[in-house]
């Protein structure tokens, strides 16, 4: 969809090309009232402002301090109107319509007053419109025109702000104070939309000005979400890309490719050049908000490191050789077939990527099953949310979160477990913070003191600061309190859940070993804190659980997911707005990767490969015989490579050598294979072991869909031509064909049509449908043609909800005298996953290297000071990081990120994994730390390994 101009062709706006701005938020009242505006009568919901009612009727009222993403403020006086029976000229933005109200928006009186207001603004504004970067996109300029201002009587000689300095400290936007009209929109955007409260208006009267608090924007609390830039009606806050490249002229709507929130953006271009990404107000997941990654960190797509030509080499010690697509595809197919001829059909496999589109993922798993002839397909979801799939499908019958994001606005108690939303899912975190500021209670269960525990206007009611590895003990203790204190919702359980498993669970959970007093000793969380949190969760009207990788990446990840599912069922917190159990998915399309049949045991829609009826449907459609036995998981592929049975791997957009645990083991297995094929944007750690490199496409070049953490299927549209000359699904089809399996589509829409044909939960989905409605949450089929925002409303997908016993089994990874500290890993706001994208943007300004957070007492005991290089050793390996002495971690726990390959954080993580899904236990590694030589480089990084090899 390409829009060339504002379809309404009316009032100019700042919120992005093609999006109307009605000045004040929509009223959701069901009561309707009648209002007459300039002689015409209109019916609007009660609570609608006069400004909005007029705007919706096509009669725009001039405005400066109002925008429909913010509550009305009423400071600029540009929006005055006359209302019959009212004295004076009220501001239309702050005046709600009343039944029978008669409004006149264009009288001579208001025109004169507006012109006078505008004259005052302009008299303190640099009149450089023609050379200003916002020329054509400035509401002040437009309002001057609307007010009919031709000259300024006061001249420019008086006291003014024209010499005020520009703050260019932020890498992505600048703040030119001389152009500020102090409308307060930026301050309110930071408060109301983002929830960071980084800005204030300093001073009074003439001296009032916007202040980021610190020295400048970069040194302030600002998290560069861009909400203030979007809200600013002038060029005061302006994207540097617009200043450099000029105003965009056209828009393509697409979806962010970073995290599982799945924000919708208008990619705004000038010719073929991308100028800026503006979050769309109609985006179901983000409703006009963004974070620094989606808003600004897209430059990697055009980075000079991009590989755009296929490359080959016989040995990994050879130099790469650029080849044609034909040669690359033929070589790969021939090699894979040779390996199979020599070592058997099962000797090759593939890994699909959660960064790619549903359509690309679907064809990758189809290629493996149909062209490779086995089920050796796995996905990077293996190392993050596979326990979510197992746990939620066992208890509820479906492998996905239960709510839409909007649901949190109805929550009375919010429980955040093992997740750090302000860093990893920032746009959803803003929604959550808004609800908490409105009064919802907050319980945080996390070893670290994440931002939500205490930040601007937010304070958790309870922080259960547990020892890493004791999640299950704590969730059991919470359930124990609920069961033994009579807090179970007996009616819900009797009506909705299977009684046998419930009774067994009840007996189990009431055992003394699950009491808070016993668990306090295991987890370090005081028994009384557990009791209070349990009561709060069980007695709050609507209680919702949100969780992340701090739940799943454990040896008991699946047990913990089931423990949370039990808790929601036991308290009746499932099946309506404001409640539920919600995984905050890491990557943009991790939900889609799972939905599309990327696991070795499941076809699309989570149907087991051993189900004859299901398999027959696929065999008929694909015209091929499929294997009925599950294939290898990623860890099996690695193990079997080392033992010599698994010899060829197709890795689709996933840097396994950096992101998977126990790097040395991964490297050893990659080195043992005869053929490693990597399809990606950049040469990465895995490609160091590859023989074929197939260049991929960035999200700005893709055509397809992503499915976010709330099961929302969003369109991804090509903003620019594919730099490699091919869509990724085409490359995969060509490889399948070269291997002898006929696989062809004319376009990505046809792939979605096939997905819909064969996947019951996607039955009603097509590109045409998505283009019409924007997005839809699966299941979308005959039973739910408009999709399903909330799951399990009238009954669980599996019929009756199934309680599962969840005994706590401590991980085998324990601290001891040699490795006395427990290392846990996480993400930070400005970087993403292995950093391949964000490290190639100005986001490195905020996180140039991975650091190790260590408590003051642990640091002092080892003679370590902040900023010092330290050696971190585990039973598996050793790496070098920089110490950051921090109160975020308790004594005995250390924390790091894994965004930079040089730190090689996964060199030290172990191979322990979830008992059900093999999801690695990234969150618990016993380590010791000692000061390192200041010149020390990471010892076991891939670089050093290759040098040694």
Q: Looking at beta carbons only, is 588 or 730 nearer to ligand SF4?
A: 588
Q: Provide the minimum distance between the beta carbon of 182 and ligand FES in the complex, in angstroms, as a whole number.
A: 12
Q: Does 181 bind ligand SF4 (CB under 6 A)?
A: yes
Q: Does 183 bind ligand SF4 (CB under 6 A)?
A: yes
Q: Does 435 bind ligand FES (CB under 6 A)?
A: no
The interface partner of residue 225, options being ligand SF4, ligand FES, none and the CB cut-off 5 to 8 Å by kind, is: ligand SF4
Q: Looking at beta carbons only, is 838 or 879 nearer to ligand SF4?
A: 838
DSSP labels, 450-487: -GGGEETTEE-SEEE-PPTT-HHHHHHHHHHHHHHTT-
Q: Does 117 bind ligand SF4 (CB under 6 A)?
A: no
Q: Does 97 bind ligand FES (CB under 6 A)?
A: no
Q: Looking at beta carbons only, is 87 or 817 nearer to ligand FES?
A: 87
Q: Looking at beta carbons only, is 185 or 281 nearer to ligand SF4?
A: 185
Q: Does 189 bind ligand SF4 (CB under 6 A)?
A: yes
Helix 471-484 vs helix 516-523: crossing angle, to nearest 10: 170
- As a whole number of angstroms, the distance between CA 431 and CA 409 comes to 7
CB 225 within 8 A of CB 295: yes
Indicate the helix (H) or strand (E) that contains 652.
strand 648-652
According to CB under 6 A, which one of 17, 66, 138, 198 is a site residue for ligand SF4? Answer: 198
The interface partner of residue 74, options being ligand FES, ligand SF4, none and the CB cut-off 5 to 8 Å by kind, is: ligand FES
Query: In Å, how far are 45, 72, 94, 946 from 25, measured between CA atoms?
Result: 12, 8, 11, 57
Indicate the helix (H) or strand (E) that contains 501.
helix 499-509
Q: Does 236 bind ligand SF4 (CB under 6 A)?
A: yes
- As a whole number of angstroms, the distance between CA 539 and CA 102 comes to 48
Around Cβ 314, how many Cβ atoms within 10 Å?
Answer: 9
Of 31-39, 253-261, 636-644, 811-819: span binding ligand SF4 (CB under 6 A): 253-261
- As a whole number of angstroms, the distance between CA 13 and CA 15 comes to 6
Of 25-33, 62-70, 478-486, 694-702: span binding ligand FES (CB under 6 A): 62-70
Phi-psi region of 687 (alpha: psi -120 to 50; beta: other; left: phi over 0): alpha
Q: Does 190 bind ligand SF4 (CB under 6 A)?
A: yes
Q: Provide the minimum distance between the beta carbon of 454 and ligand SF4 in the complex, in angstroms, as a whole number.
A: 18
Q: Provide the minimum distance between the beta carbon of 276 and ligand SF4 in the complex, in angstroms, as a whole number.
A: 13
- Residue 750 CB burial class (10 angstroms; 0-12, 13-18, ≥19): middle
According to CB under 6 A, which one of 54, 76, 361, 481 is a site residue for ligand FES? Answer: 76
Q: Does 263 bind ligand SF4 (CB under 6 A)?
A: yes
- As a whole number of angstroms, the distance between CA 486 and CA 32 comes to 44
Please name every residue paired with 871 in a beta bridge, in sequence order, or none if there are none: 880, 930
Q: Provide the minimum distance between the beta carbon of 79 and ligand FES in the complex, in angstroms, as a whole number.
A: 3
Q: Looking at beta carbons only, is 120 or 621 nearer to ligand FES?
A: 120
Q: Provide the minimum distance between the beta carbon of 90 and ligand FES in the complex, in angstroms, as a whole number.
A: 10
Phi, psi of 931 (to 5 degrees): -60, 145
Q: Provide the minimum distance between the beta carbon of 809 and ligand SF4 in the complex, in angstroms, as a whole number.
A: 34
According to CB under 6 A, which one of 64, 579, 709, 883 is a site residue for ligand FES? Answer: 64
Please name every residue paired with 202 in a beta bridge, in sequence order, or none if there are none: 209
- As a whole number of angstroms, the distance between CA 785 and CA 783 comes to 6
Of 37-45, 186-194, 488-496, 916-924: span binding ligand SF4 (CB under 6 A): 186-194
Query: In Å, how far are 366, 610, 629, 709, 786 from 399, measured between CA atoms?
Result: 21, 18, 21, 11, 20
Total of chain residues touching ligand FES, rule CB under 6 A: 12
Q: Provide the minimum distance between the beta carbon of 710 and ligand SF4 in the complex, in angstroms, as a whole number.
A: 12
Q: Does 91 bind ligand FES (CB under 6 A)?
A: yes
Q: Does 280 bind ligand SF4 (CB under 6 A)?
A: no
Of 64-72, 246-254, 285-293, 525-533: span binding ligand FES (CB under 6 A): 64-72
Q: Does 79 bind ligand FES (CB under 6 A)?
A: yes
Among 366, 313, 365, smallest CA distance to 335 is for 313
Q: What is the dihedral of CA 394, 400, 404, 408, to 10 degrees?
A: 60
According to CB under 6 A, which one of 75, 135, 216, 766 is a site residue for ligand FES? Answer: 75
Sign for the CA dihedral angle at 911, 917, 923, 926 comes to negative
Instruction: State CA 915 to chain mean position distance.
Output: 27
3-state DSSP of 169-226: CCCCEEEEHHHCCCCCHHHHHHHHHHCCCCCEEECCHHHCEEECCCCCCCCCCCCCCC
Q: Give contact residues for ligand FES (rule: CB under 6 A).
A: 63-66, 74-79, 91, 93
- Interface with ligand SF4 (CB under 6 A): 180-186, 189-190, 194, 196, 198-199, 210, 222-228, 231-234, 236-237, 256, 258-259, 261-263, 286, 290-291, 293-294, 425-427
């Amino acid at each position: 969809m390409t829009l060339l101009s504002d379809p309404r062709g009316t009032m100019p706006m700042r919120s992005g090309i093609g999006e109307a701005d009605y000045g004040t938020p929509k009223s959701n009242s069901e009561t309707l009232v009648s209002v007459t505006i300039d002689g015409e009568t209109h019916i609007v919901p009660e609570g609608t402002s006069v400004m909005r009612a007029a705007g919706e009727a096509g009669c725009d009222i001039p405005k400066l301090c109002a925008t429909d993403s913010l509550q009305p403020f009423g400071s600029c006086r540009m929006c005055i109107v006359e209302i019959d029976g009212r004295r004076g000229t009220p501001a239309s933005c702050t005046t709600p319509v009343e039944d029978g109200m008669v409004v006149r928006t264009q009288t001579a009186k208001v025109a004169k007053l507006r012109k006078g207001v505008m004259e005052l603004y302009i008299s303190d504004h640099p009149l450089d419109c023609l050379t200003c970067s916002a020329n054509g996109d400035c509401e002040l300029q437009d309002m001057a025109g609307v007010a009919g201002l031709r000259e300024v009587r006061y001249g420019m000689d008086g006291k003014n702000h024209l010499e005020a300095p520009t703050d260019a400290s932020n890498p992505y936007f600048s703040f030119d104070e001389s152009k500020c009209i102090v409308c307060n929109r930026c301050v309110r955007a930071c408060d109301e939309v983002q929830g960071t409260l980084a800005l204030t208006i300093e001073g009074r009267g003439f001296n009032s000005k916007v202040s980021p608090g610190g020295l400048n924007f970069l040194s302030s609390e600002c998290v560069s979400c861009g909400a203030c830039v979007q809200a600013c009606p002038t060029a005061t806050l302006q994207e540097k890309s617009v200043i450099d490249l000029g105003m965009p002229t056209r828009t393509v709507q697409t979806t962010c490719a970073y995290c599982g929130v799945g924000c919708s953006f208008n990619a705004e271009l000038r010719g073929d050049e991308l100028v800026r990404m503006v979050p769309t107000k109609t985006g179901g997941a983000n409703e006009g908000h963004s974070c620094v990654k989606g808003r600004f960190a897209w430059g990697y797509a055009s980075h000079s490191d991009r590989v755009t030509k296929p490359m080959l080499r016989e040995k990994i010690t050879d130099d790469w050789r650029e080849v044609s697509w034909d040669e690359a595809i033929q070589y790969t197919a021939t090699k894979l077939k040779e390996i199979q001829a020599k070592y058997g059909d099962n000797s090759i496999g593939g890994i699909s990527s959660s960064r790619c589109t549903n359509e690309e993922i679907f064809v990758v798993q189809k290629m493996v099953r149909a062209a490779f002839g086995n089920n050796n397909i796995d996905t990077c979801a293996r190392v993050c949310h596979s326990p979510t799939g197992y746990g939620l499908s066992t208890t509820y019958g479906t492998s996905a979160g239960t709510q839409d994001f909007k649901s949190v606005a109805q929550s009375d108690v919010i429980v955040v477990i093992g997740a750090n939303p302000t860093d990893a899912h920032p746009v959803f975190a803003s929604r959550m913070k808004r609800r908490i500021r409105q009064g919802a209670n907050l319980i945080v269960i996390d070893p670290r003191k994440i931002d939500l525990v205490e930040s601007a206007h937010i304070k958790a009611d309870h922080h259960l600061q547990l020892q890493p590895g004791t999640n299950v003990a704590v969730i059991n203790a919470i359930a124990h309190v609920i069961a033994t204190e009579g807090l179970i919702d007996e009616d819900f359980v009797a009506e909705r859940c299977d009684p046998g498993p419930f009774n067994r669970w009840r007996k189990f959970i009431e055992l003394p070993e699950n009491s808070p007093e016993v668990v306090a000793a295991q987890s370090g969380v005081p028994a009384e804190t557990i009791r209070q949190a349990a009561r709060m969760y069980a007695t709050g009207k609507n209680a919702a659980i949100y969780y992340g990788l701090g739940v799943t990446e454990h040896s008991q990840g699946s047990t913990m997911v089931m423990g949370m599912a039990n808790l929601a069922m036991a308290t009746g917190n499932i099946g309506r707005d404001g409640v539920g159990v919600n995984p905050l998915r890491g990557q943009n399309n991790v939900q889609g990767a799972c939905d599309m049949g990327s696991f070795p045991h499941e076809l699309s829609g989570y149907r087991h490969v051993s189900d004859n009826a299901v398999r027959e449907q696929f065999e008929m459609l694909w015209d091929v015989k499929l294997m009925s036995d599950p294939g290898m998981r990623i860890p099996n592929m690695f193990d079997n490579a080392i033992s010599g049975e698994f010899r060829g791997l197709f890795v689709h957009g996933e840097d396994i050598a950096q992101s998977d645990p126990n790097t040395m083991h991964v490297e050893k297995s990659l080195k043992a294979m005869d053929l490693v094929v990597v399809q990606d944007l950049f040469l990465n750690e895995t490609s160091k072991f590859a023989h074929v490199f197939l260049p991929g496409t960035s999200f700005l070049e893709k055509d397809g869909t992503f499915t976010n953490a709330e099961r929302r299927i969003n369109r991804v549209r090509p903003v620019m031509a594919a730099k490699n000359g091919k869509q990724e699904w085409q490359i995969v089809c060509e490889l399948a064909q070269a291997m002898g399996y006929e696989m062809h589509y004319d376009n990505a829409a046809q792939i979605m049509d096939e997905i819909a044909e064969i996947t019951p939960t996607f039955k009603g989905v097509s590109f045409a449908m998505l283009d019409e409605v924007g997005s839809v949450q699966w299941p979308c089929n005959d039973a739910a043609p408009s999709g399903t925002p909330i799951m399990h409303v009238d009954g669980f997908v599996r019929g009756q909800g199934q309680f599962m016993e969840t005994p706590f089994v401590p991980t085998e990874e324990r601290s001891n005298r040699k490795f006395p500290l427990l290392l846990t890993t996480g993400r930070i706001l400005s970087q993403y996953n292995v950093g391949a994208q964000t490290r190639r943007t100005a986001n490195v300004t905020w996180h140039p290297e991975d650091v190790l957070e260590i408590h003051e007492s642990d640091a002092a005991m080892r003679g370590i000071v902040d900023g010092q290089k330290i050696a971190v050793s585990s039973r598996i390996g050793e790496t070098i990081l920089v110490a950051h002495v921090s109160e975020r971690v308790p004594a005995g726990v250390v924390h790091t990120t894994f965004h930079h390959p040089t730190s090689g954080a996964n060199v030290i993580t172990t191979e322990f994994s979830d008992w059900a899904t093999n999801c690695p236990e990234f969150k618990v590694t016993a380590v010791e730390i000692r000061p390192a030589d200041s010149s020390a480089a990471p010892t076991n990084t891939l670089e050093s390994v290759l040098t040694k090899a």
